[in-house]
A and B are shown apart, each in its own frame.
Chain A
Amino acid sequence: MEQTIRFTLNNKSRELKLDHERRLLWVLRTDIGLTGTKFGCGRGLCGACTVLVDEQPVRSCVYPISRARDKKVVTIEGLANNGQLHPLQKAFIEHDALQCGFCTPGMILNAYGLLRKNSQPTRQEIVQSMDRNLCRCGSYARIIKAVQTAGREMKGAK
């Protein structure tokens, strides 16, 4: 059923008229044209489509747009602040924590969710909260290091 749905996307308010059952991933990628959020599996199994809704990582491929109503959605395009890269983005660059880069937006936003709750996670805590994000290129070891580095920088900035 078509409905008008309002939400904030990367700090700008949006109003769309659309079928409220459609998944957030496709609304972002096609209706809005923000292609940084990736499709990998469509069933919540890989994490490539991860975005933040009210600061929580969610899998946008299984997230109906109706649930985003009046909420704050942040995609990878909205993570940098006034052209300043987020500490996670910087740490991924510094650690070469990616190869093909297809899983990267989802990795960064999922890690964001973790660091928000726990800025000094242990290796074990990182592994646990990232374990459902898949990287076929095998960048895990470096992503773990990047998340630790970013956590330190975020804590230092506070």
Chain B
Amino acid sequence: MLEDEYPDLDFIDIPTPSAMDRGEFLKLFGGGIFVLFTIGSPFTLKGQIGGGSRLPTDFNAFLRIGEDGKVTGFTGKIEMGQGVVTSLAQMLADELDVPLESVELIMGDTDLCPWDMGTWGSMTTRFFGPPFRNAAAEAKAVLLELAAEDLKLPISRLNVDAGVVFDKRNRKKQVTYAQLAKGKKIEKHIEQQPPVKNFSEFKLVNKPVLRRDAPEKVTGRAKFAGDIRLPGMLYARILRPPAHGAKLTSVDTSAVKDIKEAQVVRDGDLVAVLHKYPDVADKAIAKVKAKYDTPAMDVDDKTIFKHLLSAAKEEEIVASGGNLSEGRKASDSVFEEEYLNSYVAHATIETHTATAQIEEGRITVWASTQSPFGLKDEIAEELGMPSKDVRVITPYVGGGFGGKARNQQGVEAARLTKLTGKPVQVAWTRAEEFFYDSFRPAAVVKITSGITKSGKIALWDYGVYFAGDRGSEHFYDIPHHRTMAHGSGWQGGSGAHPFGTGPWRAPANNTNTFARESQMDIMASEAGMDPLEFRLKNLKNKKMRGVLEAAAKKFNWTPSKAPSGRGYGLACGTDSGTYVAHMAEVKVDKKSGKVLVKRVVCAQDMGLVINPEGAKLQVEGCITMGLGYALTEEVHFKGGEIYDRNFDTYEIPRFSWTPEIETVLIEAEDSPPQGGGEPAIVCMGGLIANAIFDATGARLYQLPMTPERIKDALQRD
């Protein structure tokens, strides 16, 4: 494979236009065929409406066939490792019948791409894929019309392969897309749904394709927000409070003058030092003396759960059926349990970064963000500028997982460039990253459930506090049940959390699946049944049964009541329309309390799989990352002060933790594609907890399952 075949996404070369209208946009890109998507079209992004009241206006190009026959797709989505840079290109290339290499994507540029809510919730393929494919089908229809004219043949006589239209009866009679687009300026609006390919016609979709961004990423050519270099650029270090909620009372920046060329910027609460070298800016900010008023807060990582239970004001019924008191009567054994999980950081290896530039009153920000359009609005609002004067460009993002839906660093860089008139880069230190991260919220789940003598679940009374309701609804066959969500969910309500919380890869679902699947195993064990057999006995859902059976086959699961001493665990769940079942084998060192996860099998039903290789990569990533929140990851704090500042105290998974991972993707080409970036992480807490129980007979009710907690549980049980 030639690395040169891949288009460099060179984010600097595109001129910074003033707010463009459609005409200017078309001019910028010269000739070719454009397929546009406009408001009122039946293909308004499904699932994106309602989340925001704003819809695309004016120009919203989806794709362009250039005069050289190359295809450019424009999307507000961004690439942060999840692989849409490959799967979206696959969809386009397949629908258009062009080689993958001739497709290029322009992503997350608010001047060039259609408005987008943000890249999260495993929604890119599910909701953005269909209109993107429609645009491609439309473009192909236009090309076929042109070709029919050119070759003087009816469209029914034509066929396409690799960007060449030819006569079905005489392959020599042909014309290329490039020839057809040459000298043309055609603008097409999607008005009616053009027919898209069905499964049997796919050439690229559903075939494994390697990551298209890899050649850039293994050579250091790939640009991230911190890699943007602009003439005269300064690096900023910003004065930070010691704790959330602390108020600046006095500041003395006089000692900064000892550092040559360091520039102090002060604007209200924003105190920053700028220098042409970031490491020197580091030294300079250390010279600033500041005093703060820090409110006393007692709550810490141990007392937080009590605090949360008392802070939960709102409540909402997520689902219910039957009658709980009848369920209780029908139960022969009743189990009342409480599950806890701690705050967890996103801890992407790339910290929040933004590079900003002001030119003729217009600000351009290159940012590591999952929501370029959200950032654009935030900047406009914070700086009191018209939103057309702000452009956000998203280079490659070095991991997101929900954390980069927050854009504070982008606003900071924009403010500083406006204040100084110079290009400014704000790249957070690791300590800043931990401090300002929007953690996955600490949460409590309370479950009361009951079973009959024959092992049928008769009662399910479920309440989740502060995690959020995603994944809280059970999928088992239970006659009397209720699911409640208390508190304000992962967004965090006032007074609930001492610092920011937010979405974290499959928000809420990790917590909910941990609690539900632990409870299932507790009941199975009490009923004297194998955990798989117990689940199947209480489960009608076909897809869930399918993934459980597929995982069991791959794992070679043999039935036994837990604890069997083998260290086998299982858990299943659903997220973003996808069904997953995991099985694992662990080894527990009872002396040290350490867990080694030896093997994990995951079966996933995600509907039509666009890129099976990419999907497996995501599953492996989910499993590996999920080991962290299951075993070690928890934010230590007191009040608004965050004790974790780097990877020494906050331990994320390493090479030595890596289990043998096997993934089974269920063939489901007839159902529409579902999410793939998040589902396989939701089972990890319950999976490991159940495997630890099977190995030792000790039940863990709190995440992460640290060696200390495991040793405590071993003593208790």
Contact = CB atoms under 8 A, between A and B. Distances in A.
B217 interface: yes
Nearest to A127: B655
B688 to A, nearest CB: 15
Contact of A140 (B3, B82, B226, B624): B624
A98 B656 contact: no
Contacts of A140: 624, 653-655, 657-658
Given A35-B220, A102-B349, A26 B278 contact: yes
B235 interface: yes
A34 B646 contact: no
A37 B350 CA distance: 12
A104 interface: yes
Interface centre among B217, B226, B349, B657 (most CB of A within 10 A): B349
Nearest to A128: B656
Interface string A101-113: 1111100100000
Given A33-B229, A80-B219, A93-B215, A38 B655 contact: no
A87 to B, nearest CB: 11
B235 A36 contact: no
Interface string B404-440: 0000000000000000000000010110000000000
Interface string A14-57: 00000100110010001101111111111101101000000000
Interface in A77-130: 77, 79-80, 85, 88-89, 92-94, 96, 98-105, 108, 126-128, 130
Contacts of A70: none
Contacts of B210: 93-94, 96
B444 interface: no
Contact of A36 (B219, B625, B657): B219
Given A42-B430, A94-B210, A138 B624 contact: yes
B617 A46 contact: no
Interface stretch (B263-271, B301-309, B316-324, B393-401): B393-401
Contact of A104 (B218, B223, B280, B625): B218
A22 B655 contact: no
Contacts of B624: 138-141
Given A38-B350, A100-B350, A144-B655, A45 B647 contact: yes
A99 B83 contact: yes
Contact of B348 (A31, A43, A100, A126): A100
A100 B399 contact: yes
B12 to A, nearest CB: 12
B219 A45 contact: no
Contacts of B398: 38, 100-102
A133 B224 CA distance: 19
A142 interface: yes
Interface string B344-355: 000111110000
A150 to B, nearest CB: 11
Contacts of A101: 81, 213-214, 216-218, 222, 396, 398
A35 B82 contact: no
A101 B276 CA distance: 27
A76 B220 contact: yes
Contacts of A35: 220, 223-224, 226-227, 229
Interface residues of B, number: 64
Contacts of A148: none
Contacts, number: 179
Contacts of A149: none
B261 interface: no
A125 B378 CA distance: 48
Interface in B590-618: 613-614, 617
Contacts of A103: 349
B221 interface: yes
Nearest to A101: B217
A100 B221 CA distance: 13
Q: Is the interface of A mostly helix, strand, loop or mixed?
A: loop
B220 A37 contact: yes
A143 B277 CA distance: 33
Contact of B430 (A41, A80, A136, A141): A41
Contact of A30 (B215, B235, B396): B235
Contact of B646 (A41, A100, A137): A41
Contacts of A130: 655
A77 B219 contact: yes
A134 interface: yes
B623 interface: yes
Contact of B658 (A33, A76, A80, A127): A127
B280 to A, nearest CB: 8
Contacts of B82: 99
B349 A142 contact: no
Given A94-B210, A96-B210, A134-B647, A89 B226 contact: no
B277 A26 contact: yes
A123 to B, nearest CB: 9
B350 A22 contact: no
Contacts of A132: 654
A135 B656 CA distance: 12
B655 A131 contact: yes
Contacts of B349: 38, 40, 46, 48, 100, 102-103, 134-136
A82 to B, nearest CB: 13
Contacts of B613: 96
Interface string B623-664: 111000000000000000000001110001111111011000
A102 B224 contact: yes
Given A38-B349, A96-B617, A141 B658 contact: yes
B655 A100 contact: no
A46 B211 CA distance: 24
Contacts of B656: 127-128, 131
Contacts of B397: 100
A99 B617 contact: yes
Contact of B276 (A30, A100, A108, A142): A30
Given A89-B218, A131-B654, A132-B654, 18 more contacts: A26-B278, A33-B229, A35-B220, A36-B219, A37-B220, A41-B430, A76-B220, A77-B220, A96-B614, A99-B399, A100-B399, A101-B216, A103-B349, A104-B217, A108-B218, A136-B349, A138-B623, A141-B661
Interface of A: 19, 22-23, 26, 30-31, 33-43, 45-46, 48, 75-77, 79-80, 85, 88-89, 92-94, 96, 98-105, 108, 126-128, 130-144
6 contacts: A23-B279, A88-B218, A100-B397, A101-B214, A127-B655, A131-B655
